[in-house]
Amino acid sequence: MAVNLATLLAVVGLPFLAAALTPFVYRFLGERTAYYAAAVALACLGLVASLFGTHGAVSVEWIPTLDVSLRFYVDGLSLLIATLASGVGVLILTYSGAYMHDEPGQAKYYAALLAFMGSMLGVAFAADMIVLFLFWELTSLSSYVLIGHYQRAGPSMYASRKSMLITVAGGLFMLAGFLVLHAVSAEALGSATWALFGDGGILMPENAAAMQTALADQGLLVPVLALVGIGAAAKSAQVPLHIWLPNAMEAPTPVSAFLHSATMVKAGVYLVGRLRPLLGGEEWTAAFVALGLLTMTVAAILAVAATDIKELLAYSTASHLGLIVAGFGFTSFYGAETGAFHIVNHALFKAALFLVAGIVAHEAGTRALNELGGLREDLPITAGIAVIAGLGMAGVPPFNGFYSKEFLFKAAWEYATVHEGVAFLVPVVAVFGSIFTFLYSIRFVAMFFGDKPDALGHVHSPPAIMLGPPALLATLAAVVGIGGVTATFGVHLEPLETFVASVIQATGGELGGGAHAVAASGAAGAAAAGSEFTYHLPTSRESLPAATMSAITIVLGAAAYTEYDALHARLDELISGPLTANYYYDGLTDGANPFSDRVRNAVQTRRLRTYATWTLAAFVALTLGAYAAAEVTLALPVGELLPVTPPKLAVWLVLALAGVGAVMVVRANSHVAGVLTLSILGFMVAIFYILSKAPDLALTQLVVETLVLVIFLLVLDRLPAFYGNVTRSTALRDGVLSVAVGATVAITVLLATATRPDSIASYFVRTAYPEGGGSNIVNIILVDYRAFDTMGEIAVVSMAALSIITLIALRERGETQ
């Protein structure tokens, strides 16, 4: 079924419209704005639901000149992300109604959440690289605002800036990758396009082969992988760019649950899944399996070292995102199954756990793990939710996370058996990381059991409105888990399996079959042969290695759990300093400030001498470089001055006096002497004009020179007579520079006067009298041919007068401004 454009525009546009209206709505509804926002999210969810069963691309023009359109595309993957964004949105916004009671800045909070939801829906459906980037950056921006929600708190500000720096900068790398893809598409497809899907889109099955060939031929596959990979890694908190995510927990807990576990951080893995059919291959696997498993393991270890329940969940999120990235990294069908299915499972259990964390923090008043225990007495329902979701996170059968983790083990094992050798490290690392996942999951759940610390006091029951959303999420997670059990006996959870199959298809399914596999991946509708998706408890022989890996994980995990506290303490101690990515981030951002000062102070000395020196030196270097580059030939006009006849003698004399004057200026030891000797130069120039038969120029020069001299002397009388001391090296530098500047100007003049082109001057000579009515050509030029210039100069002179008035009138007012 074709996609309805109006529905898509509505689903993406509605949240933005609602966000814009939020300040007004808040004025009327106050705290109940939460339900207004939840209603908007529900409407979006309904619109998304109406898109199920449709497939394809639609577009509406935006910037036709650039061929950028609001292109949208609907398939399994986009529906998955959109359902998460709107569905979790409904729950989160409802939950906020109770959680945000009496909190500051609610209008801004709901507006930002709605705008975020719209952006996330935009990311999901965008089928144009520019439009995708647009919504991508808007999610980062709304995240910045939401993390900084408690805008008076230092940690919030630190966290929001960190997330902005990392995710927006990462986005720029992604944009660079898109630009390369755009350029490559020109070669591969005949005309450059920004479209991912739709006519001529680079991800369309019929275009994939040509794009792959062009990328490989131009050697651009690895650069594109790297650029897009950095963008995805920044957004999805992959090591070492994961560091913003734990800090992002400064946001109110509903925000953490929504943006920083269920949706926004999925944008990165979404991108990886999206591009998998196009870029998948050996380099792809090497990059993303390594990145994903590294993140999964490192973040899981960090989660064990965490002391705060939200921090634990944040690291856990990064770890699970790593699992998804690693899944998409494999080109096998198992790989696609891992990624697609785990997105669903993770969203369910992690959003539930965050909301649980929110309830605990809200009702118990602390988030420190060692201060929490025995909560099941006061929070029985919450404890039930935590158990279901927590065991899913741990990967314990038959809870939901178990099944998707099994796919990872299968993919890893298959990869190892095919590639052999070092490749066996892949399943080993996968199991190793999973042990830590198991550990922290159990630790999280354990706060509901055991003894209640005395300091905790009575913990209130949360309001129903806060309990409903996590309960619903946990129920769904439980249903997924039970579906696996029933499937073992042939009763499948059909809608879920079909849906996940469509997501798998969208991410390319089994890659490596060349064009055929790619073509199959894009095919609409029912699953092609071999790409059906089912999940169940391990029963067959093929699932033995993966099942064994799960068993090892759980057994070792359970054994290690007895030593959890020791392990936690040891890791907490170990992970510090240069071993952490934060060390480098803080080093860079903190170091940037003094570095900024050093650079500023070194460059902007506030001294005119420095500025003039560099300005003139750059002028000399650039100009002489240009003369050298153009290979000018310099002819000194000595011929015109030799032999020395009486008229030429006068010129020599003037030159000599001017030279003496120039030397004297430098040697003058007072202002007055300096000005007087400088005027020698000026008067010599006037005499030179006389010798060159230019009496009006000479007259002007004499007037100016006299006036300047008089004014100088009048002003200098009021200045201190002190001339600064000049060191030898400064004097030398200044001397060299002035000679260089003088030489450059002299060369310029010599070169310019060496030629006699046909000049417009001949026209003036010819027409000055008949057309201009005057015999003094210069005057006619000034008042007729180029009177416009003269008008401008008159403006300058009037302004000079105005300047003097201003300086005098305002001189005493300086301190008041």
Partner 1 sequence: MSPPVAVIAPLLVVLFTAILTAVAHRSLRVQRALSVLGGVAYLGAVAYLFARVKAEGTLVYQLADWRAPYGVTIVADDLSVFMLAFGSFVGVAALAFAVVYVDEVGQRVSFHPLYHFMLVGVTGSFLTGDIFNLFVWFEVMLMSSYVLVVFYSGAEHTRAALQYVVLNLVGSALMLVAIGGLYATVGTLNMADMARRLADPAAFGITTLAPVLGLSVVLFVVFALKAGIVPFHWWVPAAYRAAPAPVSAALAGVVKKVGIYAIIRLYFTVFAPADLGELALPGFSGSGPLAYFGPVLLVMAIASILLGGVAAVNRDDIDDLLAYSSVGQVGFIVLPLALAAFGIVAGVDAPAPYGDVAGVSGLAVLGVTAALVYSLNHGLAKSALFLASGAIYDATGTSRLDRLGGLAERAPVLSGGFFVAAIGLVGIPPLIGFFGKFLVFDAAAVAGSELALGGALAGAILTITYVTRAWNRGFWGTPTEVVDATRTNRTQVAVVVVLAIAVVGVGVAFDPVLEAAIEGAAAALDTQGYVDAVNPDTTTSATSGGGHA
Residues of this chain, 151-180, that bind partner 1 according to CB under 8 A: 151-152, 154, 156-157, 160-161, 164-165, 168-169, 172-173, 175-176, 179-180
- Name the phi and psi angles at 23, rounded to 5: -55, -35
Between 142 and 441, name the residue whose CB sits nearer to partner 1. 142
CB of 394 to partner 1, least distance (A): 37
Binder among 766, 769, 776, 779 for partner 1 (CB under 8 A): 766
Between 319 and 582, name the residue whose CB sits nearer to partner 1. 582
CB of 381 to partner 1, least distance (A): 37
CB of 703 to partner 1, least distance (A): 19
Is 756 one of the binding residues for partner 1 (CB under 8 A)?
A: yes
CB of 154 to partner 1, least distance (A): 8
Binder among 219, 594, 643, 647 for partner 1 (CB under 8 A): 594
Residues 341-380 that bind partner 1 (CB under 8 A): none
> Is-contact 274 236, C-beta < 8 A?
no
Between 182 and 648, name the residue whose CB sits nearer to partner 1. 182
Helices (H), 458-493: 464-488
CB of 672 to partner 1, least distance (A): 21
- Alpha carbons 650 and 486: distance in angstroms, whole number: 115
| Maximum alpha-carbon separation in the chain | 122
Binder among 599, 644, 721, 731 for partner 1 (CB under 8 A): 599
Phi-psi region of 102 (alpha: psi -120 to 50; beta: other; left: phi over 0): left
Residue in 322, 244, 245, 255 with CA at minimum distance from that of residue 288: 322
Between 148 and 483, name the residue whose CB sits nearer to partner 1. 148
Is 773 one of the binding residues for partner 1 (CB under 8 A)?
A: no
Between 9 and 192, name the residue whose CB sits nearer to partner 1. 192
CB of 498 to partner 1, least distance (A): 35
Between 564 and 785, name the residue whose CB sits nearer to partner 1. 785
- Alpha carbons 202 and 128: distance in angstroms, whole number: 10
- Alpha carbons 670 and 369: distance in angstroms, whole number: 78
Is 133 one of the binding residues for partner 1 (CB under 8 A)?
A: yes
- Name the phi and psi angles at 543, rounded to 5: -85, 5
CB of 255 to partner 1, least distance (A): 16
Tally of CA atoms within 13 A in the half-sphere of 46 that contains its CB: 8
CB of 203 to partner 1, least distance (A): 19
Is 449 one of the binding residues for partner 1 (CB under 8 A)?
A: no
Between 542 and 597, name the residue whose CB sits nearer to partner 1. 597
Is 148 one of the binding residues for partner 1 (CB under 8 A)?
A: yes
Instruction: Give first-to-last CA distance, the chain, whole Å.
Output: 69
43, burial (CB in 10 Å: exposed 0-12, middle 13-18, buried 19+): middle
Contacts 24+ apart (CB under 8 A), 561-564: 561/438, 561/439, 561/442, 561/443, 564/304, 564/439, 564/442, 564/443
Binder among 596, 670, 730, 779 for partner 1 (CB under 8 A): 596
Residue in 705, 383, 442, 471 with CA at minimum distance from that of residue 562: 442
- Alpha carbons 653 and 641: distance in angstroms, whole number: 12
Is 515 one of the binding residues for partner 1 (CB under 8 A)?
A: no
Dump the DSSP string for 658-713: HHHHHHHHHH--SHHHHHHHHHHHHHHHHHHHHHTT-HHHHHHHHHHHHHHHHHHH
Binder among 587, 625, 637, 742 for partner 1 (CB under 8 A): 625
CB of 639 to partner 1, least distance (A): 17
From 295-303, 384-392, 576-584, 809-817, span contacting partner 1 (CB under 8 A)? 809-817
Binder among 240, 767, 774, 782 for partner 1 (CB under 8 A): 767
Between 122 and 509, name the residue whose CB sits nearer to partner 1. 122
Torsion over CA: 805, 809, 815, 816 (sign):
negative
Binder among 3, 10, 39, 141 for partner 1 (CB under 8 A): 141
Is 610 one of the binding residues for partner 1 (CB under 8 A)?
A: yes
> DSSP letter at 700?
H
> Is-contact 19 111, C-beta < 8 A?
yes
Residues 40-99 that bind partner 1 (CB under 8 A): 62-67
Between 473 and 780, name the residue whose CB sits nearer to partner 1. 780
CB of 620 to partner 1, least distance (A): 10
Is 589 one of the binding residues for partner 1 (CB under 8 A)?
A: yes
Residues 778-807 that bind partner 1 (CB under 8 A): 784-789, 792-793, 795-796, 798-800, 802-803, 805-807
Chain length of the chain = 817
- Alpha carbons 265 and 271: distance in angstroms, whole number: 11
Is 614 one of the binding residues for partner 1 (CB under 8 A)?
A: yes
From 261-269, 360-368, 471-479, 596-604, span contacting partner 1 (CB under 8 A)? 596-604
Strand, helix or coil at 195?
A: strand
- Name the phi and psi angles at 372, rounded to 5: -110, 145
Is 757 one of the binding residues for partner 1 (CB under 8 A)?
A: yes
Is 762 one of the binding residues for partner 1 (CB under 8 A)?
A: yes
Dump the DSSP string for 550-587: HHHHHHHHHHHHTTHHHHHHHHHHHS-GGGSHHHHHHH
Between 418 and 630, name the residue whose CB sits nearer to partner 1. 630
> DSSP letter at 330?
S
Residues 6+ apart with CB under 8 A from 509: 333, 336, 517, 520, 521, 528, 531
Both structure tokens of 320: 């699970």
CB of 777 to partner 1, least distance (A): 12
Burial 443-465 (b: 16+ CB within 10 A, else e): bbbbbbbeebeeebeebeebbeb
Between 154 and 643, name the residue whose CB sits nearer to partner 1. 154
Beta bridge partners, 74, equal 56
CB of 511 to partner 1, least distance (A): 27
CB of 143 to partner 1, least distance (A): 12
Cis peptide before 643 (omega within 30 of 0): yes
Cα distances from 184 to residues 126, 273, 309, in angstroms, run 20, 20, 46
CB of 44 to partner 1, least distance (A): 21
Task: Tell the residue number behind the tokens 């099944």, with chain if given.
Answer: 403
Helices (H) then strands (E): counts for the chain: 32, 2
Residues 181-200 that bind partner 1 (CB under 8 A): 182-183, 186, 191-192
Residue in 107, 110, 130, 123 with CA at minimum distance from that of residue 61: 130
Binder among 632, 707, 711, 732 for partner 1 (CB under 8 A): 632
Size of the site for partner 1 (CB under 8 A): 116
Is 138 one of the binding residues for partner 1 (CB under 8 A)?
A: yes
Is 622 one of the binding residues for partner 1 (CB under 8 A)?
A: yes
Is 455 one of the binding residues for partner 1 (CB under 8 A)?
A: no
- Name the phi and psi angles at 461, rounded to 5: -80, 140
CB of 592 to partner 1, least distance (A): 5
